[in-house]
Amino acid sequence: MSRWSEVVAMMPALWDEFRRLEERMNQLFRELTAEGGRRLAPLEGVRTPFCDLQETDSEVIITAELPGVSKDNIQINATENEVEIKAERRAEQEEKSGSYLRRERVHSSFYRRISLPAEVVPEKAKARYRDGVLELRLPKQKARQKSRIKVE
């Protein structure tokens, strides 16, 4: 078999790989931009806070870095399956006597939506914010009892 015929024989498999790659890229794009998916940020210029996600027997714990944010400017929305964290760092008052050569820390927003590994009870969640770190504790829902169904 010549080298050319080997290449021609491999072409269908190569095109299949390209199709799979395209499908996977489309899927990732949908997940990043979908309202219900793992959206990184709703608007340009919004930062994604670093988060740790832990699961214990009784709760799910989220720890998020929100540097420079006042606790009054943090909004947390939770359902049984996901948590949404929004925060805003307000601009500092500019000093009249100061002359800036560069000013980069004026205003910033944070946004993160996190899918949870277990169903939680959002009404019983507790949040604590200290030194730029948000800790959110979400108690897990009790395991549902299995029902035995008799086949007739």
CATH class of the domain whose range is 42-93+107-139: mainly beta
What is the structure's pLDDT at 10? Answer: 76
What is the structure's pLDDT at 126? Answer: 96
Mean pLDDT, the chain, integer? 82
Distance CA 115, CA 119 (A): 10
pLDDT at residue 82 greater than cutoff 70: yes
What is the structure's pLDDT at 93? Answer: 56
> Per-residue confidence at 38, pLDDT binned at 50, 70, 90?
very low
Which pTM was predicted?
0.61
Distance CA 110, CA 105 (A): 14
For the chain, where are the alpha helices, taking DSSP H only? 3-33
> Per-residue confidence at 86, pLDDT binned at 50, 70, 90?
very high
What is the structure's pLDDT at 31? Answer: 65
pLDDT at residue 152 greater than cutoff 80: yes
Average pLDDT of 119-139? 95
pLDDT, tens only, 99-110? 777 766 667 889
Angle at 84 between CA 44 and CA 122, to 5 degrees: 175
- With residues binned 3-state (H G I as helix, E B as strand, rest as coil), the percentages for the chain, rounded to 5, are 25, 30, 45
**If we measure between CA atoms, which residue out of 49, 33, 52 comes closest to residue 88?**
49
